[in-house]
């Protein structure tokens, strides 16, 4: 299993993370298809707003099959932080990959305030790879808000609509308006500073990740009987990071507009609970080894 998460700065100070009075909701998007390729790297990890524990991780350049996942945290105004990227290597047609994924999704992450934050909602792409395994996995975990999704061809509609259950397992399947979701993702990537809608990206993202995140562009085409329509076309072959952002946004909206509107109040309540309990940050007895040249903190 490969995991990228928050890292501490080389000088020993924690990397600046989300305001503990802001972050509240942990969302995951999963793609069980072929992996994006990132170079092999190793580092000692310090979870900041996502946690305080330390552990070692290794990311592999193996070109085999894998399920990929991003974990994104949302706060007031849908400001968000990319918490982690992970790949579970192996054949998604076999059970072990799904067991590894389930183990990851069961984690609780320690908010910077000291409170435990579980993953609130998960979406798993069922449209292009291993649909049977996806439906079975989601059906058994619907109580934990693990849902199957697939991309739709509609344009200009809400990101998610009513789910259907027209599949062998009768599990909820959400069809996404990918057109709208990508418009939102790209518009937020253009926001210049922290605040509503801003996407915080950690220092561990590299050129390949950014290239995949921006691997498409919108063009206008004339279609008979429909007039001019917007279409998204690839500017490069690999675009898995963009797909995962779409799935994460869908997971947030599946929770519903009432939940989204309540994010500021939920964040404030979490901060007040932290102040009331007087949670203090533990002091590590021995700092883990750190490597320069991979992660030096947060971009914003």
- Please indicate, yes or no, if residue 152 is contained in any of the structural domains: yes
pLDDT at 274: 55
Q: What is the CATH number of the domain that holds 88?
A: 3.30.420
Residues 245, 75, 107, CA angle at the centre, nearest 5°?
70
Answer whether residue 287 is part of any domain: no
What's the domain range around 151? 2-15+25-277
CA distances from 261 to 26, 166, 245 (A): 15, 31, 20
- Phi, psi values for residue 62, rounded to 5°: -55, 135
pLDDT of residue 277: 57
pLDDT in tens, 231-280: 888 999 889 999 999 999 999 999 999 999 998 888 787 777 656 655 44
Q: What is the pLDDT of residues 94-144, one digit of tens each?
A: 899 999 999 999 988 887 778 888 999 999 999 877 899 999 999 999 999
Which residues is 125 bridged to in the sheet? 149
Does 283 reside within a domain? no
Query: Is residue 247 in some structural domain?
Result: yes
Q: How far is CA 300 from CA 9, 29, 79, 127, in A?
A: 14, 22, 12, 33
Share of the chain above pLDDT 90, in %: 41
Q: Would residue 285 count as lying in a domain? A: no
* pLDDT given for residue 58 in this prediction: 27
For residue 87, the cross-strand partners are 2, 68
What is the spatial distance between Cα 295 and Cα 173, in angstroms, rounded to a whole number?
Answer: 37
Instruction: Give me the pLDDT at residue 257, please.
Output: 94
Task: Judge whether residue 22 has pLDDT over 70.
Answer: no
| N-term to C-term CA, the chain | 27
Contact 89, 1 (CB under 8 A): yes
| Measured distance CA(146)–CA(131) in Å, rounded | 14
Give how far Cα 227 sits from Cα of 179, 183, 221, 222, 265, Å: 17, 20, 8, 5, 44
Question: How much is the pLDDT for 159?
Answer: 96
Question: Is residue 64 included in any domain, yes or no?
Answer: yes
Residue 28 confidence class, pLDDT cut points 50, 70, 90: low
Neighbours of 132 (CB within 10 A): 12
Whether residue 290 lies inside any domain: the answer is no
The answer to whether residue 286 is domain-embedded is: no
Looking at the structure of the chain, the number of domains it has is 1
Interatomic CA distance for residues 154 and 179, integer angstroms = 7
């Amino acid at each position: 299993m490969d995991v990228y998460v928050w890292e501490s700065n080389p000088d020993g100070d924690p990397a600046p993370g989300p305001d503990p009075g802001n972050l509240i909701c942990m969302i995951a998007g999963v793609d069980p298809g072929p992996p994006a390729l990132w170079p092999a790297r190793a580092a000692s990890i310090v979870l900041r707003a996502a946690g305080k524990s330390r552990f070692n991780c290794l990311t592999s350049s193996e070109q085999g099959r894998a399920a990929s996942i991003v974990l994104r945290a949302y706060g007031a105004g849908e400001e968000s932080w990319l918490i982690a990227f992970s790949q579970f290597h192996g054949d998604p047609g076999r059970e072990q990959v799904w067991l590894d994924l389930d183990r990851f999704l069961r984690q609780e992450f320690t908010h910077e305030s000291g409170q435990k934050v579980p993953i609130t909602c998960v979406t798993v792409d069922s449209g292009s790879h291993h649909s049977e395994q996806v439906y079975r996995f989601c059906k058994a975990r619907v109580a934990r808000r693990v849902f199957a999704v697939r991309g739709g061809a509609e344009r200009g509609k809400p990101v998610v609509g009513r789910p259907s259950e027209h599949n062998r397992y009768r599990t909820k399947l959400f069809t996404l308006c990918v057109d709208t979701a990508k418009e939102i993702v790209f518009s937020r990537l253009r926001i210049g500073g922290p605040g509503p809608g801003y996407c915080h990206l950690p220092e561990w993202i590299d050129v390949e990740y950014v290239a995949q995140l921006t691997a498409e562009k919108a063009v206008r085409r004339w279609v008979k009987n429909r007039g001019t329509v917007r279409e998204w076309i690839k500017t490069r072959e690999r675009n898995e990071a963009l797909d995962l952002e779409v799935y994460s946004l869908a997971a947030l909206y599946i929770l519903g507009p009432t939940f989204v509107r309540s994010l500021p109040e939920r964040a404030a309540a979490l901060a007040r609970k932290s102040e009331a309990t007087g949670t203090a940050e533990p002091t590590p007895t021995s700092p883990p080894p750190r490597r320069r040249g991979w992660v030096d903190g947060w971009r914003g």
